[in-house]
Amino acid sequence: MAERLQNKVALITAAGQGIGRAIAEAFIEEGCIVIATDVDAGKLQDLQPRKSIKLDVLSTAGVVELAKAVEAEFGGLDVLVNVAGYVHQGTVLECADRDWNFSFDLNVKAMHRTIKAFLPAMLKKGGGSIVNMSSGVSSIKALPNRYVYGASKAAVIGLTKAVAIDFITKGIRCNAICPGTIESPSLEDRVATLSKQTGKSEKTVWDDFIARQPMKRLGTAAEVAALAVFLASDESRYITGQPHLVDGGLAL
């Protein structure tokens, strides 16, 4: 199954660590021309994509500027993978306006920015695949203390379906990946924060995360990346507008 993405041009956001990095590495293995972006360019130093670029997806101007540069050099993208996101901890009572605004800006509006900027060149090129990172915690399932996170990730599924239907006859496919709980630096940070907030040891917090998984283990970023490769490749050319769970049965 090697070289499934041979000569395809793909841009990945938040490629510096976790799921984004695993996707970038998997795409490179499959022969893809990868443009890896992250708000922290230092995290991209030991990755080996075609290009490593600092990108703040909260900046419309920055995204538009990069889209123009990519079109000038590559004629546009074949694959756009939107990974950048943020997990807020808490109920509606712990969600300040700034938490709501930031969550929707990074988790949803950032995808609006990148799709709007990169889609015109994809259309000129004849089509392509857009892969958006949603979550099992969305319109699919609720978990405690994921109020604005779940709301924003539900919006990602709606955005994905809207893009898919609007451009279904233009060669554009748009799908969402909905991970469960995945081992990542982001999860490590949340475990440390929860440990401080609750007074529980970090081991206890980790055990709590694992206990709620039907498979009794966490997922890996590589397992999410394998699905991203499939959705980016021509193997999935008859699939669009769908949320794809990779959650170890969490939503059952």
Tell me how far CA of residue 54 lies from CA of 42, 66, 169, in angstroms. 9, 10, 33
Across the chain, mean pLDDT equals 96
Among residues 192, 250, 246, the alpha carbon closest in space to that of 221 is found at: 246
Two tokens, residue 173: 């496919």
Query: What digits encode the pLDDT tens for the residues 177-222?
Result: 999 999 988 888 888 988 888 899 999 989 988 988 999 999 999 9
pLDDT at position 1 = 52
pLDDT at position 232 = 98
Query: What digits encode the pLDDT tens for the residues 126-176?
Result: 999 999 999 999 999 999 999 999 999 999 999 999 999 999 999 999 999
**Secondary-structure breakdown of the chain: helix, strand, coil percentages, each rounded to the nearest 5:** 50, 15, 35
- Edge-to-edge strand ranges of the sheet holding 172-179: 51-54, 33-38, 9-12, 79-82, 128-133, 172-179, 243-246
Is it the case that residue 2 has pLDDT exceeding 80?
Answer: no
pLDDT at position 186 = 82
Q: Residue 6 CB: number of other CB atoms within 10 A?
A: 11
pLDDT-derived band at 233, boundaries 50, 70, 90: very high
Contact 47, 71 (CB under 8 A): no
Instruction: List residues with catalytic annotation.
Output: 149
Q: Residue 252 CB: number of other CB atoms within 10 A?
A: 8
Average pLDDT over residues 5-16: 98
pLDDT-derived band at 243, boundaries 50, 70, 90: very high
Q: Domains in the chain, please, with CATH? A: 9-180+220-246 (3.40.50.720)
CA distance 137 to 87: 11
CA distance 96 to 101: 9
SS3 string of 156-172? HHHHHHHHHHHCCCCCE
| Sequence-ordered list of residues with C-beta below 8 angstroms from that of 114, at least 6 positions apart, any chain | 11, 13, 57, 63, 67, 80, 82
Kindly state the percentage of the chain with pLDDT values over 70: 100
Query: What digits encode the pLDDT tens for the residues 49-87?
Result: 999 999 999 999 999 999 999 999 999 999 999 999 999
Query: What digits encode the pLDDT tens for the residues 95-137?
Result: 999 999 999 999 999 999 999 999 999 999 999 999 999 999 9
pLDDT at position 144 = 93
